Amino acid sequence: MAGANGRRFFVGGNWKMNYSKAISDVVNKALNNTKDVDVEIVCAPPALFIQEFVASKPAHVEVAAQNCYLAKDGAFTGEISPEMVKEAGCAWVILGHSERRTLFHEDDDFLKKKIDYVLNKTDVNVIACIGETLQEREAGKTNEVVERQVKAYQEKIANDQYSRVVIAYEPVWAIGTGKVATPQQAQDVHEHLRQFIGKNATADVAKSIRIIYGGSVNGANCKELAQKPDIDGFLVGGASLKPEFEQICKARQN
């Protein structure tokens, strides 16, 4: 069920390169306590453990891959295809995470091709990440950077495909640092993005697209962030592996 603004709250848990049986047990315990919560929950374990998680997770939780390539199969050592992601039980894939951009040199042009492939060749949904570095923020370039990044994705998203896309705004300086953006800082960027996305698509898209925030979200700061009108959920790293993930999934509840 969607919220008053028509957008269903969305919480993603990005496990990154972290896995153990103990972590999986902790997450499943937290998730089992979210069955009656009106929120879309999507967890992204490392690729090798997707099928194990699919077999153990509660039914209301969806699964994402943390990345994929842009072909069905072939000589692409180390990669997995969107089709394989789907076959393993994922309804979602995360694209363009800042760690992929920075450590693995994925740029807007490459990500544009990836989102094109995923949306047009499969029915896998996309969590499309964007976000500025500290240097870019301090130089007053936040809007310029996120506009460039989101526009690259938008070039390949047809108006009727936006329901399959969630935009994750993750300021790089807030990821894994404990320095969460203030609710107002995040709201300002989300509001700007919503208007910008609408200009490149339609007013209906602007109204319905879900824009989630990521960067040091935890059980203590999630409620205040969740009150902001343009924050439609979270992409959570570290805290998605802990019992507090339950509270984060419940951030919009009274």
Count of CB atoms within 10 A of residue 106's CB? 18
| Min dist. Cβ of residue 173 to ligand G3H (A) | 10
Q: Between 70 and 236, name the residue whose CB sits nearer to ligand G3H.
A: 236
Q: Between 214 and 233, name the residue whose CB sits nearer to ligand G3H.
A: 214
Q: Between 13 and 82, name the residue whose CB sits nearer to ligand G3H.
A: 13
| Min dist. Cβ of residue 207 to ligand G3H (A) | 25
Say if CB 43 and CB 65 are below 8 A apart. no
| Min dist. Cβ of residue 94 to ligand G3H (A) | 7
Rounded CA-CA distance 9/123 in Å is: 21
Q: At what angle do helices 142-154 and 183-200 cross, to 10 degrees?
A: 40
Catalytic option among 97, 99, 106, 132: 97
Q: Between 44 and 201, name the residue whose CB sits nearer to ligand G3H.
A: 44
Is 192 an active-site residue?
Answer: no
Rounded CA-CA distance 29/34 in Å is: 9
DSSP 134-158: HHHHHTT-HHHHHHHHHHHHHTT--
Rounded CA-CA distance 97/113 in Å is: 15
Say if CB 10 and CB 233 are below 8 A apart. yes
| Min dist. Cβ of residue 9 to ligand G3H (A) | 17
Is 97 an active-site residue?
Answer: yes
Q: What is the token pair recorded at 116?
A: 């094109």
Q: Site residues (CB under 6 A) for ligand G3H?
A: 14, 97, 170, 175-176, 214-217, 235-239
Q: Residue with CB nearest ligand G3H?
A: 237
Tokens 């923020």 correspond to 137
Q: Between 67 and 142, name the residue whose CB sits nearer to ligand G3H.
A: 67
The gap from C-alpha 199 to its chain's centroid, in whole angstroms, comes to 22
Of the candidates 152, 235, 155, the one whose C-alpha atom is nearest the C-alpha of residue 190 is 235
Write phi, then psi, for 249 (nearest 5 degrees): -65, -25
| Min dist. Cβ of residue 15 to ligand G3H (A) | 9
Catalytic residue numbers?
97, 170
